[in-house]
Structure 1
Amino acid sequence: MTLTDDRITAERLDELLGDDSVPLAHRALWLLLWECEVKVLDLLSLTRGDIDLAGRRVAGASGRTVAEGEVFLSDRAVELLTELIGDRGAGPLFAVGDRSLGWEEVVRTAEERGHGVHAFRTGGKSHRRGDLPEAGE
């Protein structure tokens, strides 16, 4: 598949997050990649215990404590993660059923939507800096 963009716009992200044909675990991962500076593999290593929904933050990543304020979860992220976690008290954060997402599946699912998985992170970073043109510009 040919990748269409190396950065994703906010408009495109909204479109992808609203696509219920994409498993929730992928949509939640994409949003966290967009919103924070945590790397893909670090996010994939997160467990249920690494997320503090009440505090709206990621408490740990790849075995390290995440500094206060390093990752703040938006309302939309909390909503998606709450739905993703459901009543699970433990286990991998990004899971489909009882199976955690793997790198190949993450890459393939993003590519099926016309994007490299890293485009979510670079798009979010560009958006926060204000150097990513919006649709129609």
Structure 2
Amino acid sequence: MPEPIARDRYLHLIANESIPFTHRLLWVLLWDGELRLPDLLSLDVRDVDLESSTAFIEFPKEGTPEAVPLSPNARMMVRFAIDHRTEGPLFVTESGQPLSRETAAKQARKAGVSVHGFRLGGQCERLESASS
């Protein structure tokens, strides 16, 4: 099981402009929410409502989209990622290709962490906040 990423490490990584923006956005959304990597990678630009700061994820088992709130930081980053696009995958590489699980995992390893550690780190932080 991957180790949760500590908040200071997370903040350092998402501020590191030498890491491609798409990966930093993915990490922010993994940290902020309870979403799994495949759920995030399936997001389309049309699944995001910036006015309500919400992303709509369609979970295969439920069949109906679930509204997931975006933090102010995530909303700002998503707005930048979408730019003027009206459709297509939210997460694309610099060459315009959809971001794959393999590429996401490889970039996280390159940064010295597990891509799943972002979700776990965010979960740990939420649990600590709830118990305080």
Counterpart for residue 118 of structure 1: 116
Counterpart for residue 55 of structure 1: 52
Superposition RMSD in Å: 1.5
- Look up the SS of the partner of 1:100 in the other structure: coil
Extract unaligned runs of 5+ from structure 1.
132-137
CA-CA distance at 1:58 after TM superposition: 1.0
Counterpart for residue 66 of structure 2: 66
What amino acid maps onto 1:93 in structure 2?
A: L
Counterpart for residue 7 of structure 1: 4
Residues of 1 paired with 2:72 and 2:3: CA distance? 26
Extract unaligned runs of 5+ from structure 2.
none
What amino acid maps onto 1:23 in structure 2?
A: P
Higher relative contact order (CA 8 A, sep 6+): 1
What percent identity do the matched residue pairs reach? 35
Is 1:82 the equivalent of 2:95?
no
Contact 2:53 2:71 (8 Å CA) reproduced: yes
CA-CA distance at 1:62 after TM superposition: 4.6
In structure 2, which of residues 90, 101, 104 is the aligned counterpart of residue 103 of structure 1? 101
Residues of 2 paired with 1:113 and 1:60: CA distance? 27
CA-CA distance at 1:98 after TM superposition: 2.0
Q: Which runs of 4+ in 1 moved over 3 A?
A: 61-64
CA-CA distance at 1:12 after TM superposition: 1.1
Q: Please, what TM-score do these two structures have when normalized by structure 2?
A: 0.88
Residues of 1 paired with 2:58 and 2:11: CA distance? 25
- Look up the SS of the partner of 2:69 in the other structure: coil
Greater helix fraction, Structure 1 or Structure 2: 2
User: Aligned residues, how many?
Assistant: 124
CA-CA distance at 1:53 after TM superposition: 1.1
Contact 1:51 1:60 (8 Å CA) reproduced: no
CA-CA distance at 1:9 after TM superposition: 1.5
